[in-house]
Structure 1
Amino acid sequence: MDPLSALRDYAIREELDKIVRVNGEFRFGNEYTFPCSVKTAYRSKQGSYYTLETLLFYIQNAKLKHTDYIQSALAHSIPTITFVDRKPLLDYLTGKLSSSDSIVFPLPQSQPLLNPNPPLAPSLDGNNFASAATAAPAAEDAAVGNGADVDYLALIRAGERPLKDRESLLQCRNRDFYGVLVASTRREEERQRMESQSRKDGLVAKSRLMGADERGMGYGGDELGYDSGMPKVKMHLKGGKIGEGVPIILVPSAFQTLITIYNVKEFLEDGIFVPTDVKAKQMKGPKPECVTVQKKFSTDRNRVMTAYEVRDKPSALKPDDWDRVVAVFVLGKEWQFKDWPFKDHVEIFNKIIGFFMRFEDDSVESAKTVKQWNVKIISISKNKRHQDRAAALEVWDRLEEFVRSRSHN
């Protein structure tokens, strides 16, 4: 039995009070004995493994607010868990979750020892971090009396506890570095925006010198032109209609969908998913009626990329605007398509590519309706933000492929 499994077993059985600390060890009743500082198989989001001491102290104080828990842990000189690990860790230890991606086996560590004797020292408090100060001298005297070699250095180390570790040093109380991330992201957006505008200005100048109103490179041979710096795309849609202007992407206006007009720019341009409620609080002023997005992480530096308008009010579109709609992020509800100028879902998703964004661990029921439609289901993780870029790239790839197919019809 490894220490993580033993701790989870005792937590589910509500027998945490039977775990007693004796010197530098935890004794699980009469069953197992583990070193307090032994690493468990539970890895934090930061990459390090939590010790048995850290996990036991947390689960015994899980009802405390995180700030109160941190203060209590520091008072006991015990390393703490991070806030993002708090809920998933508790759910796993209490049996609400049967498994977790944070658990990594095998992990080199000491094997548990069978504990044939009852605990030598009772708990001094509700946290079961009892001291066995009287037990250590007694064991040492017995060893000396029997003529055995005493490893004094080992005895000293057994009573030691680390005051600080790499994680606790990096943690700053009452400080939130999210603002730093937001500021750096905004600076990067401004830099990319200036570079994009510079490229557009250069193309406009070139177009005027060549005496052409519409010239450039597009998706698979699309005609891409620039008029006063704004790209213009000519798309041939089914039925012989031709839509000229910036292509349009529609998103739901409802907050219960993952992609909205608030966070679509960060997701499609930077490959980062920021929840709508967070972005809405960050934005100053009223909700924008239109957002311009452009693929920024293409591997082809010489490629001229098309800009897209993102809107969330289909009722405000004119008939000519509908000819420019190329994509829609679906909510999964029938009423989203009310009063659209199409007869049914077949016609909608034949002329417009549909995307449905979901969290990868959502229930199958959440996508039950959209699976009946001709839409692309894109999954992202709730916590692993480094995977957002791949999801955004999949949207771009499918969108570009769709636009190319439409332009050839």
Structure 2
Amino acid sequence: MDPLSALRDFTVRGELDSISGVGDDFRFAGDYSFPCSIETAYRSKQGNLYTLETLVFFIRHHHLKHTDYLQSARFHRIPAITLPDRKPLLDYLQGKVASSDAIEILPPTSAVGVGDTEEYRPEDPSYHIGADPSSLAASSGGGGGGEARVQEPLDYVSLLRVLERPLKDRESLLECRNRDFYSVLVASTRREEERQRMESRQRKDEIVAKTRLISSEDRVDDGGGFEVTPKPKMHLKGTKIGEGVPIILVPSAFQTLITIYNVKEFLEDGVYVPTDVKVKAMRGAPKPDCVTVQKKLSRDRVVAAYEVRDKPSAFKPEDWERVVAVFVLGKEWQFKDWPFKDHVEIFNKIIGFFVRFEDDSVESAKIVKQWNVKIISISKNKRHQDRAAALEVWDRLEDFMRSRSHS
């Protein structure tokens, strides 16, 4: 019996515990013995034949998650099966399917019985896979006076493959031992946060400088006094936008898709990064109180910057005058203690966005659909589509700012 069939037979019968490793061989109870490194008839989608050692380790650890299984295989220095091969191989070994296209008919390899005197000797050039020992003797002129039987040419490739033992697969080649790329990610994240803080301070300094410049341009009247030039003001539907950078509010709750942790990647880079991934990358660093974002997704010159905050409870009246947009959670309690009568007044003065996964149930947006809020849908897996969603937010926000500045 070939090693693949023997392993399948023992798996179906629930006798995997009867397979034991003795030296460089696997012994199947008292029935068969095969070298650990022998290639089986199961060919992976990558083109290589899986060894018996690989299949035995997999069938004993198939209950693990694939990532955990890979780590365990690497730890034991055993070549692992690939994810695409996992389910069809398991179905075959457990007897759920009778055959598989991945199985190749190889020259028969005789399993050596535990009590047999004849040993499996692939290293012996005179050992021919699948050859009849009597035909070998006849062809070599040994014994008997009968007509010598013609021996088929030795399959040297098969002989070499029996001796081969894969040292590395594609995943192990990609490993970089003693290299911690997580620290690189953390360092990059910290540099980006520092850049954001620098930009925020720089913009605030520019605002202060412009204010002082306006004050210095006061004109002297004929009487020797000073005639102060009034400062230009923008109005937001009857309510002025306060001096300083406009504010965009995001929820502080983690169950929303857009938070202060990932809003910059979404609005500036057009990429959605889950909040939990960003939090892990920060490795205990404190949550930022404010993040500055600019439109960088088009060839348009950057002409505006926005502050993103998630603690409106700490706002002063002048801070509320700067609020121009809000990402909603979809819950009424998000607006508790806001200086507005209800959500109708809120979304008359502030543009609202609700970001959701496109395959979420309709119920998740049931309340939001009753509000004057723009629903933005993104994919759970297709990150290349995030850019279009981010641009839609920017287009709506810029239209809103233009309409309010001319009102």
User: SS of the residue aligned with 2:131?
Assistant: helix
Deviation at 1:280, TM superposition (A): 4.8
2:355 alignment partner, SS class: strand
* Contact in 2 for aligned 1:345/1:373 (Cα 8 Å): yes
| CA shift in 2, pair 1:18/1:146, >3 Å | farther
Aligned residues: 332
Secondary structure at the counterpart of residue 129 of structure 2: helix
Relative to structure 1, the CA distance from residue 364 to residue 201 in structure 2 (aligned partners, 3 Å threshold; closer, same or farther) is same
- Tell me which residue corresponds to 2:224: none
Give the equivalent residue in structure 2 for 1:314: 312
1:181 is matched with 185
- In the alignment, the residues of structure 1 paired with residue 101 and residue 232 of structure 2 have an alpha-carbon distance, to the nearest angstrom, of 67
C-alpha distance 196-242 of structure 1, shift in aligned 2 (>3 A)? closer
Q: Distance in 1 between matches of 2:370 and 2:286?
A: 36
SS of aligned partner of 1:261: coil
Cα deviation 1:103-131 (Å, max 9, x = unaligned)? xxxxxxx9546879999769x9xxxxxxx
TM (norm. structure 2) is: 0.60
2:271–2:383 contact (8 Å) kept in structure 1: yes
Aligned to 2:267: 268
Q: Does the 8 Å CA contact 1:39/1:51 hold for their aligned counterparts?
A: no
Gapped regions of structure 2 (runs ≥ 5): 1-7, 17-27, 29-33, 92-99, 137-148, 218-230
Amino acid at match of 1:259: I
**8 Å contact 1:38–1:51 — kept in the other structure?**
no
Quote how far apart the aligned CAs of 1:178 are: 2.0
Distance 1:170 1:286, change over 3 A: closer
1:26-73 deviation per Cα after TM superposition (whole angstroms, max 9, x unaligned):
4xxxxxxx42x4339xxxxxxxxx997889965752445856752434
Partner letter of residue 249 of structure 1? I
Distance 2:324 2:371 in 1: 16
Q: 5 Å matches for 1:45-64?
A: 60-64=60-64
Shift of 1:250: 1.1
Alignment of structure 1 residues 27-106 onto 2, 5 Å? 34-35=42-43, 37-39=44-46, 60-64=60-64, 69-73=70-74, 75=76, 77-79=78-80
% identical aligned pairs = 60
Aligned partner of 1:401 among 375, 399, 402 = 399
Name stretches of at least 5 consecutive residues in structure 1 with no aligned partner: 1-9, 27-33, 41-49, 96-109, 125-131, 214-231
Q: What are the residue-to-residue correspondences of 1:369-384 with 2, within 5 Å?
A: 369-382=367-380
Taking the TM superposition and a 5 Å limit, the aligned residue runs for 1:279-318 are 279-280=278-279, 282=282, 287-288=287-288, 290-295=289-294, 297-300=296-299, 303-318=301-316
The residue aligned with 2:22 is: none
- Structure 2 Cα separation of the partners of residues 331 and 203 of structure 1: 32
Match of 1:160 among 159, 164, 185: 164
Distance 1:396 1:317, change over 3 A: same
Aligned to 1:129: none
- CA change 1:242–1:386 in 2 (3 A) is same
Question: Measured at CA, do residues 190 and 388 of structure 1 come closer, stay the same or move farther in structure 2, by a change above 3 Å?
Answer: farther
Structure 2 CA distance for partners of 1:156 and 1:280, relative to 1, 3 Å: closer
The alpha-carbon deviation at position 244 of structure 1 amounts to: 2.8
Cα RMSD, aligned residues only? 5.1
Structure-2 residue corresponding to 1:253: 252
Q: Is residue 353 from structure 1 mapped to residue 351 from structure 2 by the alignment?
A: yes
Contact 2:291 2:309 in 1 (8 A): no
Task: Tell me which structure has the larger Cα radius of gyration.
Answer: 2
Q: Could you tell me how far apart the structure 1 residues matched to 2:384 and 2:153 are?
A: 54
